[in-house]
Amino acid sequence: MKFVLASHNKGKLKEMAAILGELGIEVASLPEGAPEPEENGATFEENARIKAKAAAEFTGLPAIADDSGLCVDALGGAPGIRSARYCEGTDADRNAFLLKNMEGKEDRACRFVCAIACVLADGETVTVRGECEGELLHENHGAGGFGYDPLFYVPEYECTFGELAPEVKNRISHRARALGRLRDVLKDKI
């Protein structure tokens, strides 16, 4: 069965394809020219549903979308649903901006959150959520992953997401946890 991922992010596509491939689901990237809906939801779940619905309507295929981000306790949950738009520029720019906003803050507790919405062929929408707790470092460690991964320290593994092997990250990340829940739901539906 083929699903379209409502994203052009190659990192997300790779992670989702690896995990959902276990069910025989092929995950294709969103075609060029697909409309980018306004992510005006107040929660990760709402934004994921907006994106999945738009992708399904554009392609005619079942669609999967996620909305994910880093929530830092000392910043009142920011960058949160605005993680990808926290500041203009690249991942490195956003990481630098986050570190600047954390200057002088001792509480480094944070979590990655991922909500995934799936619009099935019959129009039913399923939404799941996964979280991974960690700590925000004072500097980048590791070149793997993407986004805030080099700053997100996982105490149980004594390293950042940027240092973890992809197969380990695919087992423990917020996205992996949400995808595991989605996989369990889809087993009964496809």
Does 189 show up as a binding residue in the annotation?
no
Question: What b/e readout covers 179-189, taking b as 16+ CB neighbours within 10 angstroms?
Answer: bebbbebbeee
> Residues 67, 73, 184, 188: which is the catalytic one?
67
Q: Is 161 annotated as a binding residue?
A: no
Q: Tell me whether residue 29 is annotated as binding.
A: no
Burial environment of residue 126 by CB neighbours within 10 A (0 to 12, 13 to 18, 19 or more): middle
C-alpha span between 119 and 43 (Å, rounded):
18
d(C-alpha 77, C-alpha 94), whole Å: 15
Q: What are the distances in angstroms from CA 165 to CA 51, 141, 187?
A: 29, 13, 27
Establish whether 152 is an annotated binding residue: no
38 is in an annotated binding site: yes
DSSP-derived letter for residue 145 is S
148 in a known ligand binding site: yes
**47 marked among binding-site residues:** no
Is 123 labelled a binding residue? no
**Is residue 184 flagged as an active site residue?**
no
Q: Is 67 annotated as a binding residue?
A: yes
Terminal-to-terminal C-alpha distance of the chain: 8
Does 142 count as an annotated binding residue? no
Instruction: Consult the annotation and say whether 175 binds a ligand.
Output: yes
How would you label 140-176 residue by residue, b for 16+ Cβ within 10 Å and e otherwise? bbeebbebbbbbbbbeeeebbbbbbeeeebbebbbbb
**Binding site per annotation, positions for Mg(2+):** 38, 67
Catalytic residue ranges:
67
- Extract the annotated binding site for substrate: 7-12, 68, 146-149, 169, 174-175
Residues flagged as binding site: 7-12, 38, 67-68, 146-149, 169, 174-175
